A = this chain, B = another copy of it.
Amino acid sequence: MGEFALIGQITARLPQGAGVALGPGDDAAVIAAPDGRTVVTTDMLIEGRHFRRDWSSARDVGRKAAAQNLADVAAMGARPTAVTVALGAPGDLEAAWVLELADGVRAECGDVGASVIGGDTVGSEAIVVAVTALGDLEGRDPVPRSGARAGDVVALCGRLGWSEAGLQLLLEGQHVPEEVVQAHRSPQVPYSAGPQAADLGATAMCDVSDGLLADLGHIAEASSVQIGVDVSALEVADPVREAARLLQADPISWVLTGGEDNALVATFPAGTVLPDAWRVIGGVETGSGVLVDSTSYAGRAGYDHFS
């Protein structure tokens, strides 16, 4: 299938939402920005480094590529509105794989009401997927990483340790518990919690893509504060615990340092009444860095991709 025929098949699969003034097929697309500002973020995924075709379906890869970017938009307190996708692909890649990838991007965007409004396809040796996501603040102030203040509470919404558990299982050739393996293939992101946190007065927020301690470290550094995490407040979900048992690993280290679950972590003024989906996991003090149960964390804080 030629490039133009393939693009035609892709765009035919992409329903355009109400905010799309001009969809794919022109030099550029036009999307509504009713707030008068646009939130923008971009991420690139490379085959062999961010995903493996023997581990993940094209649909999983599409979902994950979209999710990473949509989560970044949500972490600003915005509602995702649109994405563009640039795809580099080897000439012998089956058209069906590309169409499934597009289906995955569309499905993840559909979960938040965003449209896939443009893209590019080029030839390359390895598969490369670059997604850019846009969002609408709907009148909210963006929630940066830099606004945490001493006295704030730290709260979490979403999963931690799932993707890391799935990755470690896959690295050992294991495929159960299936929930965590699937979580590594594509995350379940609590998108609506981002605007919710902004409405609740969150002072700082980011999504947990590098690992809880690493991402809290970004907030601590940008805000010039110290952040403390209480391990007893962290939930270790049953399938994460089961994976750790199978691999004789420490599930708490996965929860503290595993990446790619795209949970949202935010700081709120003390006394903020938080909905059930948000769980207080620590607090903000004067100082610098991140402490776990009042001490430095001995393990590695960050998350490396598998290659």
Complex CA distance for A122 and B303, rounded to whole angstroms: 14
User: Are A40 and B144 closer than 8 Å at their CB atoms?
Assistant: no
Which single member of B28, B132, B145, B207 contacts A84 (CB below 8 Å)? Answer: B132
User: Are B72 and A27 closer than 8 Å at their CB atoms?
Assistant: yes
Complex CA distance for A145 and B86, rounded to whole angstroms: 21
CB contact under 8 A between A40 and B21, given known A46-B124, A50-B122 = no
User: Are A84 and B40 closer than 8 Å at their CB atoms?
Assistant: yes
User: Are A31 and B26 closer than 8 Å at their CB atoms?
Assistant: no
A235 on the B face (CB < 8 A): no
A39 on the B face (CB < 8 A): yes
A192 on the B face (CB < 8 A): no
CB contact under 8 A between A42 and B84, given known A26-B144, A122-B49, A126-B125 = yes
User: Are A36 and B28 closer than 8 Å at their CB atoms?
Assistant: no
A27 to chain B, nearest CB (A): 4
| Residue of A73, A118, A120 contacting most chain B CB atoms (<10 Å) | A120
Please, could you name 12 A-B residue pairs with CB atoms under 8 Å apart, sorted by A?
A: A21-B142, A22-B142, A26-B142, A27-B71, A40-B84, A41-B84, A42-B132, A44-B87, A84-B132, A86-B130, A88-B128, A125-B125
User: Are A33 and B27 closer than 8 Å at their CB atoms?
Assistant: no
User: Are A21 and B37 closer than 8 Å at their CB atoms?
Assistant: yes
User: Are A27 and B44 closer than 8 Å at their CB atoms?
Assistant: no
A38 on the B face (CB < 8 A): yes
A78 on the B face (CB < 8 A): yes
A151 on the B face (CB < 8 A): no
A247 on the B face (CB < 8 A): no
User: Are B32 and A37 closer than 8 Å at their CB atoms?
Assistant: yes
A34 on the B face (CB < 8 A): yes
Which single member of B44, B76, B137 contacts A26 (CB below 8 Å)? Answer: B76
A123 on the B face (CB < 8 A): yes
User: Are A130 and B38 closer than 8 Å at their CB atoms?
Assistant: no
Complex CA distance for A42 and B69, rounded to whole angstroms: 15
Complex CA distance for A50 and B205, rounded to whole angstroms: 38
Given contacts A22-B142, A30-B37, 11 further A-B contacts (CB under 8 A): A27-B75, A27-B145, A28-B72, A31-B40, A40-B84, A44-B86, A44-B87, A44-B122, A44-B128, A46-B88, A50-B122
CB contact under 8 A between A33 and B30, given known A88-B44, A124-B49, A124-B128 = no
User: Are B28 and A41 closer than 8 Å at their CB atoms?
Assistant: yes
Complex CA distance for A72 and B22, rounded to whole angstroms: 14
Q: With a CB–CB cut-off of 8 A, which chain B residues contact A34?
A: 36
Complex CA distance for A37 and B82, rounded to whole angstroms: 12
Q: With a CB–CB cut-off of 8 A, which chain B residues contact A27?
A: 41, 71-73, 75-76, 145, 205-207
